[in-house]
A and B are shown apart, each in its own frame.
Chain A
Amino acid sequence: MKYQPVIGLEVHVQLLTDTKIFCGCSTTFGSEPNSQTCPVCLGLPGALPVLNKKVVEFAIRAGLSTNCSITPRSIFARKNYFYPDLPKGYQISQFEDPICQLGWLDITVEGQETKRIGITRIHMEEDAGKLVHGDSDMNDGSGVDLNRACTPLLEVVSEPDLRTSDEAVSYLKQLHQIVTWLGICDGNMEEGSFRCDANVSVMPVGSSTFGTRAEIKNINSFKFVKQAIEYEIERQIDLIEDGGTVVQETRLFDPNSCTTRSMRSKEEAHDYRYFPDPDLVPLVISDQWIERARRELPELPEQRQHRFMTDLGLPAYDAEVLTASRALADYFEACVAAHDNAKAVGNWIMGEITRSLNDSGTSIEACPVTPARLAELLKLIDNGTISGKIAKTVFDEMWKSGKTPQTIVEEQGLVQVSDIGAIESIIDEIMAANAGQVEEYRGGKEKVFGFFVGQVMKASKGKANPSVVNELLLTKLQG
């Protein structure tokens, strides 16, 4: 029998606010344990939560960017369970009436048509702390670090619309791009700023009833998402083929073995006893607030790609690559603003810039060659001061030294030679020294032409203007 997998994703997005969701403590990562805590995030008796408005702003941005409707009156709820990293014995989250509802994202998987993936809801919640085990300072006991407790999260829940691991990855990458683009999440998956749980089930092809699903936790890279889902699909199909049944359970992904293993069954699942948190009043979001947020929304990747294609005439591929991140697209646009040749700018960014960034492990935000400097360099090519080939040498020097392209060209005497007399004398010398090849060419072996171009460029130390060289060589060789 053939099987159809059904996948839904729950993504936790840690928000880039300076302070926590319900208190004024800092959200900085990696500080001394419990140094970023106060009565509220420690869950001390009598302490009360006060909602961070920035979190609401960020949630609205995320909602609008994923085509959700914003709930005019949303409610915070308590999710009750005991765990040492959960100071109050409940997590403040949203249950009924989350802030964003019923959105979608359009995804594309190579070789397939665009597909619309539903987003059930986006809600705000606080994170838990973390447990530290077996430290010698603690006599091999366990410690609780509550620095992370109460940091703001969005949980983005998709509809079970995904059918393959590739679709899941594509959806996830697009969501990742949007939240980083909006500047509401740093997107760091290793540090857990963007983490994913996958609900996976399989059903016979043609069936309309979903199979029993397993929830897979602890998947912290795009690669692992693919591996975990694929393993889980295989496992469930094998289980059914062997006459077994899939049970509803939570499973943990092990990145070392690329397998999933059971964490807790449905019977062991918590009854979270959700109820509205009486310490927080309903969150009322006016139409004006939503409209203001909509106006302040940056141009999103898809819109920007479209504009790059229609206004700047970029090919679809270039437009997509150049909108991989907001910073990259900004860099591109700043450069085009200073040098009106989008195709050339795009080629340089996708070529030299990307290569150098990758080689040195630098982010575009920290690129040592500013858009203005890159534009200056491209101008030097366009006005014939240097050749495209020399420009690459100049670029490497700019990257290393931070000098302007003019300075480098002047200091190293790299100005392109377009003077006909000078180039002619080089050609004459080379033709004299290579009489045999001249004969070959004249005898009809036109391939030798390339040899002469190479020799002339070499003799001019790359500075000869290639188009002048071509023209003169042609005339002289045909002589």
Chain B
Amino acid sequence: MTIIDMTIHELHAALKGKQISSVEATTALLERITAVEPQVGSFITVTPEQALAAAKAADHRIASGDCQLLTGIPLAIKDIFLTEGIRTTCGSRILENFIPPYSATSWEKLRDCGAVLLGKLNQDEFAMGSSNESSAYGTTRNPWDTTCIPGGSSGGSAASVAARQAVATLGTDTGGSIRQPASHCGCVGLKPTYGRVSRYGVIAYASSLDQVGPLTRDVADCAIMLEAIAGHDPKDSTSVDTPVPNYSASLTQGVKGMKIGLPKEYFIDGLDPDVQKAMDAAIDTYRRLGAEFVEISLPNTDYAVATYYLIATAEASSNLARYDGVRFGHRAEADGLLDMYTKSRSEGFGSEVKRRIMIGTYALSSGYYDAYYVKAQKVRTLIMNDFVKAFADVDVMLTPVAPTPAFKIGEKINDPLQMYLSDIFTIPVNLAGTCAMSLPAGFSAAGLPIGLQLIGKPFGEESILRAGYAFEQATEWHIRKATI
């Protein structure tokens, strides 16, 4: 097996056994990045020198007998995570030259384990998008078909795993931004329960929905990454102080007797036939493994997209007010204060970001607040209650991740509403604040990956990881490699 094809657990065994050094692994991945980056465009910033220095340090650590699961493993992270001394753009022109003075907690945790940072990954601007087309640094392409989008907003995080440019990556998920690109690129992506992972140092899009999670080659890696980043952070008041389970330990317990819910609102007539076929096959697989299926209902699903686009944009309109050209980021040449604000923001933000700031500002405005923001919050409560009720009868839920496989670049760019609907199955999970994972479950006739979504109870990551692992052991979808 070549180094670039290795998973975290495989590479860890090789590092621990001294068959490979971290410098060798890092070099191999940096070479791979150089080789395929012109076709994929996963990265906004590659950091080869820092990566090799970190790899060298990791090798010393390993030589001294300290080889944790992530020590010496070359990773990459979405450019939404602040990295001290390394440019962090969030996919936006407005942060083109922003060098943060501190690092995100989730990245610090990985770094402290000895992980090696290869660079910062492409994404939709401020995580607003489902295709990576809103990035100010070019569209990332799908490694399975470079005429297709990789999904978004963590498009670079998914594409780089699929293209073997990084062993694993971190992304963020506000309405599906980890799961949808993971599905489109054929990798595993997990959005943890809101509060499971610290948001400190992660550039905010919609604070009540944003959550950090891993994108990996397989479920075992996903468990390793989640365990490393999860936990309470005193710097994030919304992070929850509950113990972090040993996710890897319970992976192999199987799904015999597990009750899996099939929400009827997610298996709609318009579902792509290839996606429907993959879901049917997955249900068969789980039945063979001993799981039981229950049809359930999440009756307010239809309102989720509208609710999301009010709450997320309202929060975003406020979160993005700090990009004003005063203290950091792009400042336009201007005549006076108002002119400076207007020009800096007009020049710095792309059109999707502007659209969402305007929608959110409108939703919060005097006279409209009750009709839009307050009402959306009420519907959000109804959606949460749907999940609470449904989870009374089932352990996990199984749904498609996206209604279709990856679409063509440019196909939906001029139709925001169509674009927004590509997150129809992922958004409710964020509104409910619970956890969900996307994992490879088949391919379309055109050879594009199709993902399966497992939704867990709040803080029920163990269950979905276990169910995902059982599926992975029984299938070979995750082993297939992108052709790039």
A281's partner among B237, B315, B322, B373 (CB-CB below 8 A) is B237
- Which residues does chain B contribute within 8 Å of A84, judged by CB atoms? 324, 326, 337
**Is A78's CB under 8 angstroms from B318's CB?**
yes
Indicate whether A408 reaches chain B with its CB closer than 8 angstroms.
Answer: no
List chain A residues, Cβ under 8 A from B237: 48-51, 279-281
Q: How far is the CB of A181 from chain B (nearest CB, A)?
A: 32
Q: A39-B102, A44-B101, A273-B361 are in contact. Are A80 and B318 (CB under 8 A)?
A: yes
Contact of A88 with B202 in the complex, beta carbons under 8 Å? no
Q: Do A46 and B365 touch (CB < 8 A)?
A: no
Chain A residues near B341 (CB-CB < 8 A): 82
Contact residues in B for A50 (Cβ distance below 8 Å): 234-237
| Chain A positions 41 through 59: 1 when the CB is less than 8 Å from some CB of chain B, otherwise 0 | 0111111111100000000
Q: How many residues of A contact B (CB 8 A)?
A: 28
Q: State the interface size on chain B (CB cutoff 8 A).
A: 43
Known A49-B237, A273-B365, A275-B364; contact A44-B328, beta-carbon cutoff 8 A: yes
**A24 vs chain B, min Cβ distance (A):** 10
B132 CB, min distance to chain A CBs, angstroms: 20
Q: Tell me which residues across on chain A come within 8 A of B238, comparing CB atoms.
A: 48, 278-281
Q: Is the CB of B101 within 8 A of A39?
A: yes
Are A278 and B95 in contact, with the CB atoms below 8 A? no
- Distance (whole angstroms) from the CB of A148 to the closest CB of chain B: 15
Indicate with 1 or 0, residue by residue over A75-89, a CB within 8 angstroms of chain B CB atoms.
Answer: 000101010100111
- Asked if B200 contacts A47 (CB within 8 A), the reply is yes
Using Cβ atoms and an 8 Å threshold, which residues of chain B touch A328? Answer: none
Instruction: Say yes or no: A46-B327 contact (C-beta < 8 A), given A88-B321, A90-B321, A273-B366.
Output: no
Contact with B along A14-46 (1 / 0, CB 8 A): 000000000000000000000000010011111
Collect the chain B residues with CB atoms within 8 Å of residue A45's CB.
82, 88, 90, 95, 98, 100, 203-204, 322, 328
Known: A44-B101, A144-B326. A89 touches B318 (CB 8 A): yes
Nearest Cβ in chain B — how far from A170, in angstroms?
Answer: 35
Assess the A48–B318 pair: CB atoms within 8 A.
no
Cα–Cα, bound, A87→B326 (Å):
8
Roughly how many angstroms separate A271 CA and B364 CA in the complex, as a whole number? 9
Instruction: Contact check, B314 vs A44: say whether CB atoms are below 8 A apart.
Output: no
A44 to B237, CA, bound (A): 17
Q: Encode B73-106 as 1/0 by CB contact (under 8 A) with A.
A: 0000000011000001010000100101110100
Partner of B204, one of A42, A46, A89, A275: A46
When C-beta atoms are compared, the residue in chain B nearest to A80 turns out to be B318
Decide: A46 and B82 in contact? CB cutoff 8 A: yes
Contact partners of B206 in chain A: CB under 8 A = 278
**Least distance between A93 CB and chain B CB atoms (Å):** 13
Q: Contact partner of B327 among A87, A271, A273, CB < 8 A?
A: A87
Known A46-B203, A273-B318: A82·B324 in contact at CB below 8 Å: yes
User: Chain A residues near B326 (CB, 8 Å)?
Assistant: 84, 87, 144
A90, B207: Cα distance in complex, Å: 14
> Which residues on B sit within 8 Å (CB–CB) of A51?
237
Q: Which of A39, A48, A82, A88 is in CB contact (< 8 Å) with B236? A: A48
Q: Chain A residues near B203: list those with CB within 8 A.
A: 45-46
Given contacts A46-B201, A80-B364, A144-B327, contact A88 B322 (CB under 8 A): yes
Interface mask (B193-233 → A, CB under 8 Å = 1, otherwise 0) = 00000011111101110000000000000000000000000
Q: Within residues 273 to 326 of chain A, which ones have a CB less than 8 A from any CB in chain B?
A: 273-275, 278-281
Contacting residues, chain B, for A80 (C-beta < 8 A): 317-318, 321, 364
Assess the B322–A87 pair: CB atoms within 8 A. Answer: yes
Beta-carbon nearest neighbor of A279 in chain B: B207
Q: Which residue of B lies closest to A277 (CB)?
A: B207
Query: Mask for B424-435, Cβ within 8 A of A = 1, else 0?
Result: 000000000000
In angstroms, how far is the closest chain A Cβ from the Cβ of B362?
Answer: 10
Alpha-carbon gap, A278 to B317, bound state (A): 13
A82 CB contacts on chain B under 8 angstroms: 321, 324, 341
Asked if A271 meets B366 with Cβ closer than 8 Å, knowing A50-B234, A50-B235, A281-B238, the reply is yes
| Distance in angstroms between the alpha carbons of A88 and B90 in the assembled complex | 17
Instruction: Among A46, A88, A275, point to the contact of B369 (Cβ < 8 A).
Output: A275
User: In the docked arrangement, what's the CA distance between A268 and B373, Å?
Assistant: 24
Give per-residue flags for B354-389: 1 if the beta carbon is below 8 A from chain A beta carbons, else 0.
000000010011100100010000000000000000
* B329 → A minimal CB distance (Å): 8
Name B126's closest neighbour in chain A (CB-CB).
Answer: A45
Q: Which residue of A lies closest to B329 (CB)?
A: A45
Given contacts A39-B101, A273-B361, A273-B366, contact A48 B322 (CB under 8 A): no
Q: Known contacts A80-B321, A90-B318: does B369 contact A48 (CB below 8 Å)?
A: no
Q: Complex: how many Å from CA A84 to CA B340?
A: 11
A47 to B319 alpha-carbon distance, docked (Å)? 11
Nearest-Cβ distance from residue B210 to partner chain A, whole angstroms: 9
Instruction: Give A141 to B328 CA distance when docked, in angstroms.
Output: 17
Note all chain B residues with C-beta closer than 8 A to A48: 199-200, 235-238
Find chain B residues with CB under 8 A from A46 CB: 81-82, 100, 104, 199-204
Nearest CB in chain A: distance from B298 CB, A: 23
CB-CB under 8 A from B236, the residues of chain A are 48, 50
Measured CA separation A78–B322 after assembly (Å): 13
CA distance A43 to B365 in the complex (A): 23
Residues 141-177 of A, flagged 1 when their CB comes within 8 A of B and 0 if not, give: 0001000000000000000000000000000000000
Closest to A79 in B: B318
* Residue of A48, A78, A90, A281 ringed by the most chain B CB atoms within 10 A: A48
Chain A's closest residue to B338 (CB) is A82
Q: How far is the CA of A87 from the CA of B373 in the complex (A)?
A: 24
Within 8 Å CB of B321, what residues of A?
A: 80, 82, 88-90
User: Using Cβ atoms and an 8 Å threshold, which residues of chain A touch B102?
Assistant: 39, 44
A448-B375 Cα distance, complex, nearest whole Å: 93
* Bound: A80/B360 CA distance, A: 12
How far does the Cβ of B351 sit from chain A's closest Cβ, in whole Å?
20
The answer to whether B327 touches A43 (Cβ under 8 A) is yes
What is the distance, in angstroms, from A276's C-beta to the closest C-beta of chain B?
8
Q: Besides A44-B102, A144-B326, 10 other CB < 8 A contacts?
A: A44-B322, A45-B204, A46-B104, A48-B238, A50-B235, A80-B317, A90-B318, A278-B238, A279-B238, A280-B237
Closest 3 CB pairs of A and B: A89-B321, A278-B208, A273-B364
Give residues in A with beta carbon < 8 Å to B. 39, 42-51, 78, 80, 82, 84, 87-90, 144, 271, 273-275, 278-281
Q: List 25 A-B contacts (CB under 8 A).
A: A39-B101, A43-B322, A44-B82, A44-B322, A45-B98, A45-B328, A48-B235, A48-B236, A48-B238, A49-B237, A50-B234, A82-B341, A88-B321, A89-B318, A90-B318, A273-B365, A275-B318, A275-B369, A278-B207, A278-B208, A278-B238, A279-B207, A279-B237, A280-B238, A281-B237
